[in-house]
Amino acid sequence: SQQGEEDPQALSIQEGENATMNCSYKTSINNLQWYRQNSGRGLVHLILIRSNEREKHSGRLRVTLDTSKKSSSLLITASRAADTASYFCATALDSSYKLIFGSGTRLLVRP
């Protein structure tokens, strides 16, 4: 089974609303990363949070990390139609530099 599991699998919101996606993982990590993918294209890195960090911001993105619960969340504030995409978390394992992806959340932002 995959290291990272995202929740929900799909999310539909109105433009202007906030979108929250969650990621849970199983083993000790060096860092956790979030990516975006538009319709079968290459993934684009959004933000990286290290295991000793609890929260990080980048523009309209806010990521939290709770290593005790082995979970992370990605919040996109004031969503736009252009945010429609699939979002993936990826965990960089502590000991080996493996980068393992979850199954993703499909976000639809309705205009």
Partner 1 sequence: DADVTQTPRNRITKTGKRIMLECSQTKGHDRMYWYRQDPGLGLRLIYYSFDVKDINKGEISDGYSVSRQAQAKFSLSLESAIPNQTALYFCATSDWIQGNGAFFGQGTRLTVV
| Binding residue (CB under 8 A) for partner 1 from 11, 13, 48, 61 | 48
Rounded CA separation 14/65 (Å):
26
Min CB(101)–partner 1 separation in Å: 4
Residue 58 makes contact with partner 1 by CB under 8 A = no
CA nearest to 74, candidates 1, 2, 8: 8
Residue 59 makes contact with partner 1 by CB under 8 A = no
Please name the residue that has the structure tokens 């433009």: 15
Rounded CA separation 11/59 (Å):
21
Closer residue to partner 1 in complex, CB, 14/97:
97
Structure tokens at 51: 């295991």
Strand partners, 20: 75
Residues 63-92 that bind partner 1 (CB under 8 A): 88, 90, 92
Structure tokens at 4: 């990272």
Closer residue to partner 1 in complex, CB, 34/109:
34
Residues of this chain that bind partner 1 (CB under 8 A): 2, 30-31, 33, 35, 40-48, 88, 90, 92, 96-104
